[in-house]
Structure 1
Amino acid sequence: MEIRPVRPEEHTELADLTVAAYRHSGYDEDGYEEELRDVAGRASGAEVLVLVDDDGRIVGGVTFVPDHASPYAEFDAEHACGIRMLAVHPDAQGQGVGEALATECIGRARRLGRHEVILHSARTMRAAQHIYERLGFERDPNLDWWPNPTVELLGFRLHLS
């Protein structure tokens, strides 16, 4: 397995994978699919990473938000970074892909000297939340927010030492 930046010719593949993963988890917010599909936009304002399996197939992706100045930041703390749109192909779930991508983001945060990693997760994404908790993220209700009246996103924070 290899984690690397997404290539332009892979944007559509990662977009399809991300939408499929979100639907598989039960998350289906009206209007969010367009944002999930905008891999090129995310790559211009953050770091979009993919995990490629030994057969050369993209099985997961994540958007690493390096600082609060990124248009993809869901936080304003100068010492933080974020994880967004972590997605694992439904056929590859339970094989460590999500954990590998989250761990890569944590490593990038440490290398940048950040003090914490912030992310949000929909209530339906229990498998992802178990990964985050296993990696040391803690629920922070102060970070919860509602992008629209029917969608609640739960906030998680990992303090880095």
Structure 2
Amino acid sequence: MNNIVIREAFPGEYSAIGEMMVEVYSSLEGFPQREEMPDYYEMLLNVGDLTTKENITIYVAIENELIAGAVVFVKDMVDYGSEGIATSISNACGFRLLTVDHRHQGKGIGKKLVEFCLQKGQNLNRDRLIIHSTKPMKLAWEMYERLGFTRDEKLDIEKEELKVYGFNYNYR
């Protein structure tokens, strides 16, 4: 495997990251398309705008000097930006929008990004890390469970007509 470096994304990369997210998410079988969830896809395209919130940082996985994947890390859930109870949970962090470019999938990049976020949460001394996933994100869902995430129905939400499932990773 090539050497993967994870680092904070540069603002000049935000547009390419957003385009990658749109490409990957829109290709998921069973995931709503742009015309079905235009606001969601607009948010993906402008993912860099999320970093205007104090607790949000975008990280990228770099392979051979190319952006191979990205994730939005949220160090305090107050800025997580979802419906439901997730934003009210104290001493927790989370991540959103984990994405691996099609050309780089199957190399463990998603896992490396998740492990990076888990380490960030541990370094922040959080009680837990919260994420959401959907049924079309089957591979990611399975990876989360292998890494020790557990389902938490209290975190489940509906985004337009899409059921979104909550997960916890407990540090304690």
Normalised by the shorter chain, which TM-score bucket?
A: over 0.9
Aligned residues: 159
TM-score, normalising length from structure 2? 0.87
Amino acid at match of 2:65: G
TM-score, normalising length from structure 1? 0.93
Describe how 1:112-127 pairs up with structure 2 within 5 A: 112-127=124-139
Is residue 153–residue 165 contact of structure 2 (8 Å, CA) maintained in 1?
yes
- For each residue in 1:62-96, what CA deviation from the matched residue of structure 2 results, as whole angstroms up to 9, or x when unmatched? 00011023253643111111110001111211210
Paired residue secondary structure (2:79): coil
Q: 1:40: which partner in 2?
A: 48
Distance 2:51 2:148 in 1: 27
Amino acid at match of 1:157: N
Percent identity at matched positions? 31
State the Cα RMSD in Å: 1.4
64, 79, 86: which one pairs with 2:98? 86
Distance 2:26 2:90 in 1: 33
Q: What stretches of structure 1 of length at least 5 have no aligned partner?
A: none
Q: What stretches of structure 2 of length at least 5 have no aligned partner?
A: none
Query: Which deviates further from its counterpart, 105-114 or 138-147?
Result: 138-147
Q: 2:74: which partner in 1?
A: 65
Is residue 80–residue 94 contact of structure 2 (8 Å, CA) maintained in 1?
no
Distance 2:77 2:150 in 1: 20
Paired residue secondary structure (1:75): helix
Is residue 75–residue 118 contact of structure 1 (8 Å, CA) maintained in 2?
no
3, 6, 10: which one pairs with 1:3? 6
Q: Is 2:163 aligned against 1:156?
A: no
Is residue 81–residue 87 contact of structure 2 (8 Å, CA) maintained in 1?
no
